[in-house]
Amino acid sequence: MKRGGAARRVVTAAAPAMPEAGAPEAPQAAGAADAAKPAAKRSAAGRSAKAASASAAGGTKARRSAGKKRTRTRKGASGKRRGRGRGRTGRSSGRPVRPGEAELLANGGPAREPYNENAYMAGYDLGLYEGGELLLEQATPIQRLLPEISLRDVIALGAEQIAHRCLPLLDVSEVYEEMEAAIRERRPCAVVRLGDGELLTLAQDAVHDMETIRREGGFLPYAGVHPPDLRARDELAAAIRQAHIVGVPLSRRKHFQPLLHPVLRAHRIPPESLRMTHSAVNYSLHQTGLLGRLLAGKRLLVVGNLAPALGHALNQRGYAVTGAVSPVNGVGDVERVLQEIRGFDFDLALVSAGIAAVMLCTRIAGELGRAALDFGHMADGIAKGKYAL
């Protein structure tokens, strides 16, 4: 009964109102906390007075009873975490319940304390500073003060100074024109694309050790490579050398452009020897309306796990699909798939097969003399009706 009484006192504390949408939250929380301090002091004083009164009236027995009551209350708060658990809901914490917090609690997740709510932004700000502004500080002469200029502007000015060192990339219209000409003239043309999966495969024991590859390339089995697989690495490097156009990443995230140059260097592939475009050229063909023109009037072969669905979707849109090859079970399945491809007559192959697509495209071009495009997740988009042609 004593612990139940303590629990009832906590429950009856007034719940703060929900803040209005768009209203600033931090000042409300601070104000509620400040208002709670005098009330807490009055409550503590009241408890002390009651304990003193009980001691005087009841003697030793009353004091012993009061001691037991205080002890049980502390256990209820710390051992069974009653008060603390209720405080998380916002009813006795002295702060408003923030938007989304009730739903978080209902789903079993803990509500964050105010200092944790700021931790993400503090970490973000620190990373932004150390990854940019600090580098600018260190590069500025000690006896010089920069004018009012943003880091973005400084980087843009610096990029202009190294423009002459940049390698040219084919734009989407040039890729389209080259593929159209190759199909018209019945000559081979392989357009492949490199992403983080291909670059991490190439990096095996060349740029990164296997432990790093397994740790940071956990998605590679889904893309068709099970590290360690040095044979896949070497076959992929050979395919890149043979490709007519190679899509490369523009993103400077860790396993994209920053890994591209070390990988090419490790496999002795000079970037200048490649005709390059950007790795999202398959999407750019669609966005510019050139994909429909590329597919129109061609005999199409679709290759990959979604080939049946993609072929059906293309047929419904009036394109001529002469065959579908499916499934493709990773890079180890390239020989079998290629043998099946030989049984079809086509002008252009659309290959959506993960990392194996690079090898298949170059071999379709080199051994069959046809055009092949590393189609990637465009197959998903078309098959599911996301992209209209």
Name the more confident of 307 and 113: 307
In a domain, 263, yes or no: yes
- What span, in angstroms and rounded, lies between the C-alpha atoms of 330 and 312? 23
The total number of structural domains in the chain stands at 2
The answer on 143 and 186 residing in a single domain is: no
Would residue 288 be called left, alpha or beta, if left means φ above 0 and alpha means ψ between -120 and 50 degrees? alpha
Q: What is the value of pTM for the model shown?
A: 0.69
List alpha helices for 93-171, DSSP H: 101-106, 114-117, 119-128, 134-139, 151-161
**Are 143 and 205 members of one domain?**
no
- Residues 360, 218 share a domain: yes
Q: Which of 39-43, 166-170, 323-327 is the least confident region? A: 39-43
Q: Please, which residues have CB within 8 angstroms of residue 305's CB and are 6 or more apart in sequence?
A: 326, 327, 328, 352, 353
Per-residue confidence (pLDDT) for residue 31, from 0 to 100:
40
Are both 156 and 225 inside the same structural domain? no
What is the extent of the structural domain holding 157? Answer: 119-164
Confidence band, pLDDT 50/70/90 cuts, at residue 7: very low
Residue 326 sits in the same domain as residue 301? yes
Q: 184 and 139, same structural domain?
A: no
The answer to whether residues 333 and 364 belong to one domain is: yes
Q: Within the chain, where are the H helices?
A: 2-11, 26-78, 82-87, 101-106, 114-117, 119-128, 134-139, 151-161, 172-184, 196-202, 210-216, 220-223, 230-242, 257-266, 281-287, 290-295, 307-316, 334-341, 356-368, 378-383
Give the angle subtended at the CA of 46 by the CAs of 43 and 47, to the nearest 5°. 90
User: pLDDT category, 341, cuts 50, 70, 90?
Assistant: very high
Kindly state whether residues 135 and 210 are assigned to the same domain: no
Q: Is residue 59 part of a domain?
A: no
pLDDT at 8: 39
Higher pLDDT, 60 or 381: 381
Does 40 score more than 60 pLDDT?
Answer: no
Percent of the chain with pLDDT over 70: 70
* Among 349, 352, 239, CA closest to 304: 352
Where a domain ends, among 164, 196, 229? 164
CA 41 to chain centre: 48
Residues 176 and 154 in one domain: no
200 in the same domain as 335: yes
Task: Note whether residue 321 is domain-resident.
Answer: yes
In angstroms, the CA 79 to CA 275 distance is 68
Residues 278 and 203 in one domain: yes
Q: Are residues 159 and 255 in the same domain?
A: no
Residue 160 resides in a domain: yes
